Structure 1
Amino acid sequence: MTESTWAQQRELFDDMITLYGRKTSLEILKNTNLKVFRLHLATSNKPAPIISEMKQLATSRNIEIRIHNKKNLSHISRNARQDQGVAIDLIAPQYRKLEHLIRADLKPGTEF
């Protein structure tokens, strides 16, 4: 991967929040006002109505679905014990990492 490609990809992910859990992901998918980049599912997920509903909602909204083994999904969710085999990348253009806020030259009363 070239330096410019890596920078573009990093910039894309800087505007995202990855959340995890079945009900959390389902509620995000149901809310059409939220922009979703990708739905991540574990291969170990047993067939369940909530998984089927998430897949159907993601497909109907043209959201990419990626299937991962449990270990790889835990790297994405960063919480293997509680991710329930599901993670979702939410596009949040107003999201800023703490490091960015610390480095920002904010005047008192400035909204961020």
Structure 2
Amino acid sequence: MKDSPEYLQKKAFVERLMTFYGRNVAVELLEDPNITVHKVHLSDANRMEGIVKKIIRLAQERDVTIAYHDKAALSRISKNAKHDQGVAVDVLSQRYLHVNFITESFAKGYRLLALEGIHNPQNLGMIIRSAAAGKIDGIILPKKNSAKLSALVMKASAGTLFKIDIFYCDTLLSALTSLVKEAEIFALSSHARKSLETLSLPKRSIFVLGNESEGVSAELLSLCHESIAIPMNRGVESLNVAVTAALIAFKA
């Protein structure tokens, strides 16, 4: 049975929502007029006082829907019952897009980072910060095998999470397969012979970064047009992935 247009439209909308948890994070999001808060979720076990009362007031002032849930239901929304503090917030970002929007978003070309296996939220946040500050146009981030966009990521990004396009996909393999004919894809590898320093950037380029322990997987390497390395001195073998991302972001 074919899905109805209404269902597909609703599914696409839900996929674009980013859910954050925690009371202080909720206040921070609601106090920022540049952030579109779609819905606030509260546990019905919360005492309606103090910061919870403030969250309710801020949501009402912005005409944001407030939904109340039991603890179990809220934990399914926040996906972190241990730390959600009975609060979750859905944010709709105009910069959180499906990977299919890459081509139409950058008619004149692009420089993107594709992140594989970046599970540390601090690293992800720092990568986002460097990308936003530098010459990166967007980040391809899989929904699987990756840190989730969370309060920790938002904090580590120093407020830049909503300042750069983030393109989501189920897997990097499927995303890069769809882009391999229109962009030059480079894998970062300490074993590569070609250097980032001497690389001449094409009109459309994607840099694939893996985590520090495993690097870029063999299946993604098979899609890359070339592997490149960052030259290092004094026998240093590798860099933190966030540092690598920063060097790419500021390459001339």
Taking the TM superposition and a 5 Å limit, the aligned residue runs for 1:19-30 are 19-30=20-31
Match of 1:31 in 2: 32
Percent of paired sites with the same residue: 29
Cα deviation digits, residues 57-104 of structure 1 (max 9, x gap): 111101000000000000000011110000000011222451627215
Q: Shift of residue 110 of structure 1?
A: 5.0
Q: How far apart in 2 are the matches of 1:110 and 1:32?
A: 33
**Conservation of the 8 A alpha-carbon contact between 1:36 and 1:91:** yes
Cα deviation digits, residues 18-46 of structure 1 (max 9, x gap): 00000001100000110010000000001
Counting matched residue pairs gives 110
Q: How far apart in 2 are the matches of 1:105 and 1:11?
A: 21
Q: How far apart in 2 are the matches of 1:105 and 1:94?
A: 19
Q: Is 1:105 matched up with 2:164?
A: no
**Conservation of the 8 A alpha-carbon contact between 1:20 and 1:88:** yes
Q: Which structure's CA Rg is the greater one? A: 2
Q: How far apart in 2 are the matches of 1:4 and 1:68?
A: 29
Match of 1:42 in 2: 43
Amino acid at match of 2:75: S
**Conservation of the 8 A alpha-carbon contact between 1:16 and 1:93:** no
Taking the TM superposition and a 5 Å limit, the aligned residue runs for 1:62-81 are 62-81=63-82
Amino acid at match of 1:52: K
Q: How far apart in 2 are the matches of 1:92 and 1:16?
A: 7
**3-state secondary structure, aligned to 1:17:** strand
For the aligned residue pairs, the C-alpha RMSD in angstroms reads 2.0
